Structure 1
Amino acid sequence: MIDIHCHILHGIDDGADSMAESVAMARIAYEDGVRDIIATPHFNSLWRNEAGLVRRKTAELQRKLDQAGIAVTIHPGNEVRLENKATFMRDTEQGAYCYLDDAGRFVLLEQRWAEYDPDTPELVAWLLARGTTPIVPHPERHHFFRERPELVERIVAAGAWLQVSADSLTGRSGDDVQRFADWLVDRDLAHTLATDAHNVNRKPNLSEGFRRVRERAGQERADQIARRMAGILQRPSAAD
């Protein structure tokens, strides 16, 4: 399995506190069946973890995992918050953050917590024109999406993917969040799953998310999601 959203890099946001905790998270993920983790530290007005730093921290963690014999590959990424349209476009054009893949085909594009950004459909179209598919993390945890699910449907219609978190599907983030996560699964709007793990307590648990999808939507749907996620890290062929 591939975890496309994980705050495993230590000391740069609200994720792992130490290298030891980063290693422990990777070990938990391995035991859960994960073999690739995209490290996605926050990129926002509070934690501006730019691409160079993320790549250095990723390489540092990978060396530690190799030394410890933990067969998990760490890939650089970011969870990029949409603070406003102008700032996001500027940061994108300047290459300030990491995409989820080396080719820049996918980016984890987070909404602000206070309110929905009405420029989102426009930015989805702008990114798609640049060859990048935005993946919106944990929409089930945003109150405005739960209150107005048509907003989710609008950005999906524009071409965005959604990422539902395993903790949401298992109820660890609350009943309202779980109900909306289930609603997304039932309507085939859970395009990807991830852990959004931050430490050894809010830990990697991707298999639990897939179990919940299988229970509600069947094995074929779970396999479809897994294939879509695997494609994020696959290098595009010359024909693409």
Structure 2
Amino acid sequence: MIDIHCHILHGVDDGARDLEESVAMARIAYEDGIRDIIATPHFHPVFLTTADVVHRKLEELERELERQRIDVRLHPGNEVQIVSAEFVAAHTRSRSFAYLGRPGTHLLIEQRWSGYDPATPEIVERLLDAGVTPVLAHPERHAFFRDDAELLPKLVELGVWTQVSADSLVGNFGAEPQRYGRMLIQAGLVHTIATDAHNVNRKPNLGAGMAVFEELAGAEARSELEARMRSIVAG
């Protein structure tokens, strides 16, 4: 399995505290059946984890995983918050953040927790025009998507891919994200599943999320979803 959203890099955001915890998360991921992880530290004004830091920390963790013989492949990425249209545009121009995987054809974006940014369609269209597919992190956890039934489908129609979190599907974020996440699967609006793991407690648990997806959408849909996630890391 491939985890496209994971805060496994140590000491850069609210994810793994140190290298030891990063290694422990990788070990948990391996035991869950995950073989590829895209490291996606936050990219917003509080945790502005730039691409050069991502690559440096990634190489450090790769060396330690190799030393401990944990066979998980790591890939660069960021979780870029839509702080504003200008924030995204400026950092796109300066190449400040990392795209998902080495092909660089996808970008993980997230909404602010304070509310939906009405400039989102404009940002999405700019990314698509540049040949980049925006992958929207955990929409099921945002109340504004749950409250406005048309908001997320319109973004999907524009070309956005969604990323629903395994923790949501198994109920770890409460009843409403679980209900909405499962509804999105049944409506055919889920393009990827990821862990959004942050530590050994909020741990990599992709297997549980994929099991829920397959239960609701079927084995063929799961195969299509897995192929979509492979395309992110392989191009």
Q: Residue in 2 aligned with 1:131?
A: 131
**Structure 1 match to 2:144:** 144
1:53-85: per-residue Cα shift (whole Å, max 9, x none)? 010000000000000000001111100000000
User: Is the CA contact 2:10–2:21 (under 8 Å) kept in the aligned structure 1?
Assistant: yes
Q: Structure 2 CA distance, aligned partners of 1:167 and 1:74?
A: 21
Question: Map of 1:2-151 to 2, 5 A cutoff?
Answer: 2-151=2-151
Answer whether contact 2:103 2:234 (CA < 8 A) is retained.
no
If the length of structure 1 is used for normalisation, what is the TM-score?
A: 0.97
Alpha-carbon offset, residue 101 of structure 1: 2.3
Equivalent position amino acid for 2:72 in 1: V
Q: Secondary structure at the match of 2:150?
A: helix
Residue 172 of structure 2 corresponds to 172
Q: Which amino acid aligns with 2:194?
A: A
Instruction: Note the C-alpha offset of 1:196.
Output: 0.1
In 1: Cα distance, 2:233 partner to 2:37 partner: 10
Shift of 1:224: 1.0
- Secondary structure of the 1:102 match is coil
SS in 1 for 2:189: coil
Superposed displacement of residue 93, structure 1: 1.2
Q: Which structure 1 residue ranges, 5 or more long, are not aligned? A: 236-240
- Which residue does the alignment assign to 1:227? 227
| Cα drift, residue 102 of structure 1 | 2.2
Shift of 1:223: 1.1
Quick one: percent identity of the two aligned structures?
52
Q: What is the Cα deviation at residue 104 of structure 1?
A: 2.1
Give secondary structure in 2 for the equivalent of 1:215.
Answer: helix
Partner secondary structure for residue 182 of structure 1:
helix
- Mapped to 2, the partners of 1:171 and 1:147 lie a distance apart of 19
RMSD: 0.7
Q: Distance in 2 between matches of 1:50 and 1:133?
A: 20
In the TM superposition, what whole-angstrom CA distance separates every residue of 1:116-160 from its partner, at most 9, and x where no partner exists? 011111111110110000000000000100111211011111110
What is the distance in 2 between the residues matched to 1:28 and 1:227?
23
One-letter identity of the residue aligned with 2:223:
D
- Number of equivalent positions: 235
Is 1:156 aligned to 2:159, yes or no?
A: no
Matched residue type, 2:66: D
Post-superposition Cα deviations, 1:33-63, rounded to whole Å, max 9, x if no partner, equal 1111000000001000000001000000000
Measure the CA separation in 1 of the matches of 2:103 and 2:66.
25
CA distance in 1, matches of 2:157, 2:12: 34
Q: TM-score, structure 2 length as denominator?
A: 0.99
